[in-house]
Amino acid sequence: MDLKIKLEQLQQKVVGLKDQIATEEATKNAFVMPFIQILGYDIFNPTEVVPEHVCDIGTKKGEKVDYVIKNNDEPIFIIECKHWKENADAHNSQLHRYYHVSKTRFGVLTNGIVYNFYTDLEKPNIMDEKPFFTIDIEDLKDSSIKILESFTKKDYNLESILDSAEALKYIKAIRKEFEKEIETPSDEIVKLLVSRFFEKPITANRMISFKEYTKKALTTSINESISFRLKSALSINEQIEKQDEDVKTSQPIDENNDSKIVTTEEELEGFQIVKAIMREKVPAARIAYRDTLSYFGILLDDNNRKPLCRLHFNTANKYIETFHNGKDSGEKVLLNNLDEIYHFREALHKTLENY
């Protein structure tokens, strides 16, 4: 079952049961163990999910961390749990101690609802003070679910996670600072922006005014950007729903310019997924598509000689054809649903190296 569906089911369970969960142990049993199971680890296998693992710290013997998760007999992350009513950020000093004596690269602090993931980006074998990734079961976001996939037993890859951990940490920090600037612009940001068009000295009174102007300008800009994107999305939906001929022949390939070509909503949705994956490597403007009678082609730079993949959605079974082994060596794989396109992220990124 899809990771997102399983997490949504856990979300319903959390919302429905949390008021009846009175202890930390009950939180573990009701919320944390199902979460571990959702990641693909066998909670009934003590060589894979080790409860109450002893982490001796200096002269303190018998200290225990709630869970150690292993993959191929190697510890990959530790989990420290608290009651769901407790703040998941409030006890990282305890996890910090456990992390120091463990052989893992990741520590997780959770109250069964919020899961904070830590690593050692600042100093080797010393857990960072702030998490690089957080997922809230009561406020699931597609972007967070996608990151969590890297921690599943099926897709776990240490190097891949470490490569993205630093980016996740600093993007989160920058976003937080940006949101603070929108709410209450600092003197620094006001001076930076205003000095580009205002040549006079900024007095204390002017600073008060300019702070208010800056807040309104930032808020207005963001709201207008959101409004524009919503209008664009609505416009696209209207075009998809139209059944007239000009939509049916949307962006045909030159050698297949045929009025029988119909670009379906599923093909466009598949294109958006591929586009989102490729945007990690290249600007969105470089990703294009051309529909044909036999397949839906997704191209780099709108160039037929640079195929990224092809979607074969015109039959009962749906396939994706990738070109990571070269543009003349396409590989077709059956898709059970559109979300499985995300499984081809590495193959799609590798295809770029061919061009």
The pLDDT, as a whole number, for residue 240 is 61
The pLDDT assigned to 293 comes to 86
pLDDT for position 250: 45
CB atoms within 10 A of CB 298: 24
Task: Please say if the pLDDT value at position 243 is more than 70.
Answer: no
Confidence of residue 11 (pLDDT cuts 50, 70, 90): very high
CA distances for 321 relative to 271, 331, 334, angstroms? 13, 5, 9
Tens-digit pLDDT profile for residues 291-332: 998 899 999 999 988 999 999 998 888 999 999 999 888 999
Q: Are 207 and 185 in contact (CB under 8 A)?
A: no
The predicted-structure confidence for 120-169, as pLDDT tens digits, reads as follows 888 887 888 888 899 999 999 888 898 899 899 988 888 778 878 878 88
Q: How far apart are CA 53 and CA 62, in angstroms?
A: 9
Query: Which pLDDT tens digit goes with each residue over 213-242?
Result: 898 888 888 888 777 777 766 666 666 655
